[in-house]
Chain A
């Protein structure tokens, strides 16, 4: 019980100290990605995991935020940091009419609508060249050379997002979201305006995602439609972060973000150069080839990971943590855990 209570605080303290102990910019970069994914995953989880409205369009809001920040800087000469506010608002401007129309759809039909919106946004960003620069994307001057400021901004944003969602889920809003997820007709009969509260959930998620997108623009300095409006790299990845970490748990997406960024990096670097090292040590050229294949197969790795998670941890790492404890300590007496 006390572990459960203290976990967020311990995690936060560790994350605050982390860059001061590990000074490698590469590690900082990875951690910034983890934090950005924690935000995106949490937003997806608020809408899909808690409110039951599965979305394949997380990239819509992330990309809108990123483009708002970029366009503000490109066309108006305003600092791209304003995108942290206006990017969130722009994402809500997209979310409002979309939700108003598409929340009449239930289940898979709503999910398909989000998928369609994702593709619409990507095509708009690609083809409206006079505004967005098309496939070339947008490039801006980064504010800081060091990664530390970005790290702490991302950490603040992630902490605020997770804390907000935690508070929401303990309030009336949270009860309403869960009721809608469990049974929309029952929720209506209990006096819950399901259409309105689905809109609330969508817009909170959209705002936070838009903010994360703006942060991404500021940090990377360059975006294009294929990265920020990407169906598989953003929208599907957000779903994977949620599923692996634990759908419908506050800290699931945070854990999911660590795992997914970790697995991605593991494949990208060929298990941190392990294959290359073995190849050099044994002088087998074929292993170099294997290493090359592995580095390009991170999507396959995600697939295997998701299959394993669904088979053994259907509620995700956080949702099924009792199972993990049982596997790690098989001789512990039942009930002795925790």
Chain B
């Protein structure tokens, strides 16, 4: 049984094919990188997986279950957590309450939810900020809150959408450490990232797309050496050289 698989996903916005026939598989406990230049369809692909957009055609399978077209909250209950590229903190709630709200997805006992939330805050290093309103957090902390919240829904697969964008170098190191820690808990991760240093160091395999289509898939080294990828990022001249 495949752990997670998308098959022939297609999504058009008007005349634009944002995602055009993309397929890939993710294995259990793998960090799977998704790269591509700006506007290549990475975030759309994420929204198709978590069904914030409905795909025009193609399927998404998770844990032997067809989750194509399931409502986002059902997908979360099925075991896929996600973060948003444009962070969505629950601004007028405290950091702890943000995470507790997420923790309620697998339990209705408040005590259990708070305990789980505290564990996740500790894991992600936000414990010292737990009583602050989420709207007061810095951008780095907000990105970490996104991960904390997604983790509190106890996912088997975590979708990280550009969680490292906009972070300073020391925050970047912490983010890489955190993602590695999450994987050690046995959670698979699909990560979209622009910052090559992050994605090349942590990914087991990378899938590269451009104009909504697959251009390469393989280990970080294979993908980095692929002429199509170099062309997509740096232009034709570098690819031929």
| Residues of A bordering B, CB below 8 Å | 170-172, 175-176, 178-179, 181-183, 185-194, 248
Contacts and interface: CB of A to CB of B under 8 A. Distances in A.
A130 to B, nearest CB: 44
A278 to B, nearest CB: 46
B52 interface: yes
A190 B102 contact: yes
B73 A192 contact: yes
A182 B81 CA distance: 19
B157 to A, nearest CB: 13
Contacts of B106: 191
Interface in B50-78: 50, 52, 71-73, 76-77
Given A188-B71, A189-B73, A191-B77, 20 more contacts: A171-B110, A175-B101, A175-B104, A176-B104, A178-B93, A178-B97, A179-B93, A182-B89, A182-B90, A182-B91, A182-B92, A185-B88, A186-B88, A186-B89, A187-B101, A189-B50, A190-B76, A190-B149, A191-B73, A191-B153
Contacts of A191: 73, 76-77, 102, 105-106, 153
Nearest to A193: B73
A192 B90 contact: no
A191 B80 CA distance: 10
A248 B77 CA distance: 28
Contacts, number: 78
A172 B113 contact: yes
Contacts of A181: 92
A183 B88 contact: yes
B108 interface: yes
Residue picked from B52, B84, B90, B101, most chain A C-beta under 10 Å: B101
A188 B73 contact: yes
Contacts of A185: 52, 72, 84, 88
Given A179-B90, A182-B92, A189-B84, A172 B108 contact: yes
A183 B100 CA distance: 15
A194 to B, nearest CB: 7
Nearest to B109: A172
B84 A192 contact: no
Contact of B101 (A170, A192, A194): A192
A127 B203 CA distance: 69
A177 to B, nearest CB: 10
A185 to B, nearest CB: 6
Interface in B16-40: none
Interface residues of B, number: 30
Contacts of B108: 172
Residue picked from B88, B97, B106, B152, most chain A C-beta under 10 Å: B88
27 contacts: A170-B110, A172-B108, A175-B100, A175-B104, A176-B104, A182-B91, A183-B89, A185-B52, A185-B72, A186-B88, A186-B89, A187-B90, A188-B71, A188-B76, A189-B50, A189-B76, A189-B150, A190-B73, A190-B102, A190-B150, A190-B152, A191-B106, A191-B153, A192-B73, A192-B105, A193-B73, A194-B73
A309 B169 CA distance: 45
A179 B97 CA distance: 9
B82 interface: yes
Contacts of A190: 73, 76, 101-102, 105, 149-150, 152-153
A249 to B, nearest CB: 12
A187 B102 CA distance: 8
A103 B153 CA distance: 25
A192 B98 CA distance: 13
Contacts of B153: 190-191
B118 to A, nearest CB: 15
Residue picked from A186, A192, A194, most chain B C-beta under 10 Å: A186
Nearest to B135: A182
Contacts of B52: 185, 188
A15 to B, nearest CB: 30
Contacts of A176: 101, 104
Query: What are the 8 tightest A-B residue pairs by CB atom distance, in nearest-first order?
Result: A191-B105, A191-B76, A182-B90, A186-B88, A188-B72, A175-B101, A190-B102, A179-B101
Residue picked from A179, A191, A248, most chain B C-beta under 10 Å: A191
A182 B88 CA distance: 9
Contacts of B92: 178, 181-182, 248
A179 B106 CA distance: 16
Nearest to B76: A191
A104 to B, nearest CB: 13
Contacts of B50: 189
B13 to A, nearest CB: 18
A248 B91 CA distance: 14
Contact of B71 (A172, A179, A183, A193): A193
A49 to B, nearest CB: 11
Contacts of A192: 73, 101, 105
B73 A175 contact: no
A240 to B, nearest CB: 22
B84 A186 contact: yes
Contact of A178 (B81, B90, B102, B113): B90
Contacts of B77: 191
